[in-house]
Structure 1
Amino acid sequence: MWRSAPPFGELLSGCRKSALHLEMRDHYDDPDEAPRVEAWKAGKRPDPNNRDSWWRPWLDMVSETVGRGVEIRRARIVSEPVSEYTRYLYDGTFANIAAGEQIRWLPRKKASGIALPGNDFWLFDGRLVRFGYFSGEGAYLGDEVTDDPAVAKLCAEAFESVWSKATPHEEYKV
């Protein structure tokens, strides 16, 4: 069944085993993130020694969730050479990892043999999928969730295929 997604924090707090996230865009146009992107373009970087400079409250939710024993993995399919926005994400990924996420990168040309859903998604506990919808320019348009077993299976298989081919953040160079 398809329905509007509940708040993301509610989805994550209800998670018991795993939360998998597949990102497939080279740019996201999030107005809340725009000040951080502009600061990054001006040369400001998050300070690894100052957690208060990191993206909040997201990283607090990640730390709490991982602390409950939930595995959070994120895979990013990226074009190469990478976009400016992907460089921005890359430079801040250390904070996601410090909070407990596992992150890998897959060059788009290595994803050609993988059957992928048409949209970015989160898969919670292998059963609930939250799809995020974006405009061609990267503006967030909304999301939906489904617990359809066939959709969850497609997303799980796509994620694991990407994950197996992707490079861990520590080894990936932009």
Structure 2
Amino acid sequence: MPQFIEDDTFGMYFEEFEHTAWRLETRRGYGSDRAGDKYRRYLETGEVPDDSQRPWCVNVRAQTERGKRIERVRIVDNPPTHEQRFLLAAAAVNNAVGENIRSLWRTDAEKAALPATDFWLFDSRRALVLHFDDADGYLGAELVEDAERIVRFCQVRDTAWHHAIQREEFVAQVSSIV
């Protein structure tokens, strides 16, 4: 069983990184999204509210204004699940405050042999591997500092980023399959 960090220390990684914070998201949905009001409103209206003043966005803005990068690649099914459509819509706010969220079709991720592992990579030195149960519920984050595993995460990052598509272009592709 992996050794999880204390949940109350999770946020400090996003304040203390020096250059880059990068994430791979591989799941078809997240229990925390499905449980939230924002997701329910999206299902009812098809719209995502501007919540650019929430703590995550405030920190992203502060970090990127210091010249740091916060990026992620989301793996998306074809057709996208409701949760993936929600995340694609919600990414507009994140991108507007300085985060760079891109998407990659699952078939392309599989061709590139990307793992089905969600993780954050910080400064190419440490990672938080996110663990979930079968219902997409968050179980905890495992701190990884082993050089061999970090090199593999860096390779995954480079491959995923190379193949990922910017949000606006991806939205157009999704719209064309509906």
TM-score of the superposed pair, with normalisation by structure 1: 0.89
Supply the AA of the counterpart residue of 1:125: D
Q: What is residue 38 of structure 1 aligned with on the other side?
A: 40
The equivalent position to 2:15 in structure 1, one of 13, 28, 36, is 13
How do 1:70-149 and structure 2 match up within 5 A?
Answer: 70-149=68-147
CA displacement at 1:146 relative to structure 2: 1.2
Pick the structure with more helix per residue: 2
Q: Greater RCO between the two (CA within 8 Å, min separation 6)?
A: 1
The answer as to whether partners of 2:118 and 2:130 remain within 8 angstroms in 1 is yes
Q: Kindly indicate whether the alpha-carbon contact (under 8 Å) linking 2:24 and 2:72 is maintained by their aligned counterparts in 1.
A: yes
> Alignment RMSD, CA only?
1.9
Unaligned runs of 5+ residues in structure 2 are none
Aligned AA for 1:4? F
Contact kept, 8 Å, 2:34 with 2:83, in 1: the verdict is no
**How many aligned positions are there?**
169
Q: How far, CA to CA, are the matches of 1:103 and 1:58 in structure 2? A: 14
Contact 2:41 2:48 in 1 (8 A): no
Unaligned stretches of 5+ residues in structure 1 = none
2:4 maps to 1:4: yes
Equivalent-residue separation in structure 2 for 1:31 and 1:111 (angstroms): 23
**1:20 shift after superposition:** 0.6
- Mapped to 2, the partners of 1:64 and 1:19 lie a distance apart of 13
Q: CA 1:149–1:115 in 2, change beyond 3 Å: closer, same or farther? A: farther
Give the AA of the match of 1:59: C
Moved over 3 A (4+): 115-118
In the alignment, residue 42 of structure 1 is paired with which amino acid? E
TM-score, normalising length: structure 2 = 0.87
